[in-house]
Amino acid sequence: MIFRLSFAKKFNITDSINSFDENRKQKILEHTGGNGVDVAIVATSSLKALEDAIDMVRKGGAVMMFGVPSKDAKIILNMGKIYSKEITLVTSYAASDTDTKESLRLIDSSQIDVKKLVTHTYPIEESQKAFDHARSGDNAMKIIITK
């Protein structure tokens, strides 16, 4: 986790909060004047992260579920909190064709430099090693397999 926080700071991130910090909710509320964040993007399959996002989003805010939970994953949600805070829950399973084309256009035009995200490269003969490394997440952001 520390690796990813440090890595993110290379992209002019002004502040970060470690998700394992027991005071994370309080820190977010302090940073937002007690309101909570406008949008919380849950980019992990962790259902605990979803619960935290609901707690940390402001009244009228939105929670985007981008990480795919495991099959048949279940969670008990306090619907009273979701209702009273008027939280919008949005899911995203995959990018649309339009999103993919726009992303490729931005990459092709060099408006976005995705090479900065690549931390490791493996030859195709070491594909299994690359998959194992990606699964472990050990000091890695994006791993590329080359021919």
With pLDDT > 70 as the criterion, what percentage of the chain qualifies? 99
> Do residue 11 and residue 69 come from a single domain?
yes
Which of these three, 49, 75, 91, is where a domain ends?
91
The residue ranking higher by pLDDT, 127 or 21, is 127
Phi first, then psi: what are they for 37, rounded to 5°? -80, 155
Query: Can you state the angle between helices 24-31 and 47-56, rounded to 10 degrees?
Result: 30
> Do residue 79 and residue 118 come from a single domain?
no
**pLDDT above 80 for 13:** no
> Do residue 8 and residue 65 come from a single domain?
yes
Q: Binning pLDDT at 50, 70 and 90, where does residue 16 land? A: confident
> Do residue 82 and residue 114 come from a single domain?
no
> Do residue 52 and residue 103 come from a single domain?
no
> Do residue 54 and residue 84 come from a single domain?
yes
The CATH number assigned to the domain holding 32 equals 3.40.50.720
Whole-number Å distance between alpha carbons of 109 and 60: 36
Q: Binning pLDDT at 50, 70 and 90, where does residue 1 land? A: low
Whole-number Å distance between alpha carbons of 31 and 25: 10
Look up tokens 């931005």; give the residue.
106
State the chain's mean pLDDT as an integer.
90
> Do residue 82 and residue 23 come from a single domain?
yes
For the stretch 114-124, pLDDT in tens is 998 999 999 99
Range of the domain at 106: 97-146
**Per mean pLDDT, which of 23-27, 59-63, 108-112 is the most reliable?**
59-63
Whole-number Å distance between alpha carbons of 135 and 144: 13
The residue ranking higher by pLDDT, 45 or 93, is 45
> Do residue 70 and residue 34 come from a single domain?
yes
Task: Give the total number of structural domains in the chain.
Answer: 2
Please give the model's pTM, rounded to 2 decimal places: 0.72
